[in-house]
Structure 1
Amino acid sequence: MRPGDAPVLTLLRESLGFHSARQSVLADNIANADTPNFVPRDIEEAQFHRALQNELRGSASASAAVAMAANRPGHISPSGGDAGIGRTYRAVSSPDSETTVNGNAVSLEEQMVRAQDNRIRYETALGLYEKSLGLIRMAARPVAR
């Protein structure tokens, strides 16, 4: 198993991908706060949990063979990719508590709270990912004699 295949890193990569996609949807909602008949969207957290379960099942069944790594332009690229990177989550309609007279259902206050909460969760996952990689690097260093 490669260090990057550790289940905790898989969990954190999936989390980063989810929160990145969600931030994009929330930013779109805020940008359309004055658009007539616009209904805000959000990504259900259940989608993240399903994607995470599928990814962890796939990691558990993957072989522990040594993987090929391309480190020069002429090398053959390894197959596969990072979990959570490029995964598409489906945004669903999620009207806020108020609708204006022009039919817009975006409440800037609610959207900003969601965006801030999402940012905090993203930064937490990123910090944990960096710390986990640091621990793996430290464990992989040769012991000085």
Structure 2
Amino acid sequence: MRPDDIPLLSMLRDTMGYHGARQRVIAENVANANTPGYTPSDVPRSEFERVLAGQAQASGGMRTTHAMHYGGDGGASGSRQFRTERAPDSETTSNGNSVVIEEQMVDANDNRMRFETALSLYQKSLNMIRMASRSPGQ
């Protein structure tokens, strides 16, 4: 059995993939903070939900039991590719750049905390599986 065969671990891996993609986009925004005419981008939450819905359909093991749960209806092929969309910050400078460093840093920190949470849950789940698979007395 592989870790990806367990729906929870697969979902956590997809969560980390989403936050990794979002961190790359935020870093690109910060790198272009002084580029004239640059409009920042972001990976919308709907992209994450699309991947989770595709994962649920592919595994057949995840079901929604409440309208607010992820899963079941809709979704694409379970692709791990996330689309970005333009997401201007609250201000635009005279040169047309709409990156606000402070807003990007808040987004980066929030994104990092969410990634680290998913990573911690993934690692703890793997440790529990390892512990449960050991012979008694080892």
* TM-score where L is the length of structure 1: 0.79
In structure 1, what is the Cα distance between the partners aligned to 2:24 and 2:35? Answer: 17
Which residue of the partner structure matches residue 105 of structure 1?
Answer: 98
* Cα separation, 2, equivalents of 1:3 and 1:19: 20
Find the partner of 1:128 among 102, 121, 126: 121
For residue 2 of structure 1, report the CA deviation from its aligned partner: 4.1
Change (3 A) 1:32 1:133: same
Q: Contact (CA 8 Å) 1:10, 1:56: kept in 2 or not?
A: no
Q: Assess if the C-alpha contact under 8 Å between 2:42 and 2:87 holds in 1.
A: yes
Note the 1:1-145 alignment, pairs <5 A: 2-60=2-60, 87-144=80-137
Q: Which runs of 5+ in 1 are unaligned?
A: 62-83
| Percentage of pairs with the same residue | 52
For 1:96 and 1:12, locate their aligned partners in 2 and report how far apart those are by CA, in whole Å.
29
TM-superposed CA distance for 1:57, in Å, is: 1.8
- Distance (whole Å) between structure 1 residues aligned to residue 90 and residue 133 of structure 2: 52
Larger radius of gyration: 1
Counterpart of 2:50, as a letter, is R
| Unpaired segments ≥5 residues, structure 2 | 62-77
- The answer to whether the 8 Å contact 2:40/2:88 transfers is yes
1:104 alignment partner AA: N
Alpha-carbon distance in structure 2 between the residues aligned to 1:143 and 1:57: 37
- Deviation above 6 Å: which 4+ runs of structure 1? none
The count of corresponding residues between Structure 1 and Structure 2 is: 122
Structure of greater relative contact order (alpha carbons < 8 Å, 6+ residues apart): 1
Q: Matches of 2:136 and 2:46 in 1, distance apart?
A: 44
TM norm structure 2: 0.83
SS of 2:60's partner is helix
Q: Conserved in 1, the CA contact under 8 Å of 2:90 and 2:98?
A: yes
Q: Judge conservation of contact 1:43–1:91 (CA < 8 Å) in 2.
A: yes
- Offset, 1:3: 4.4
1:38 and 1:2 mapped to 2: Cα distance?
43
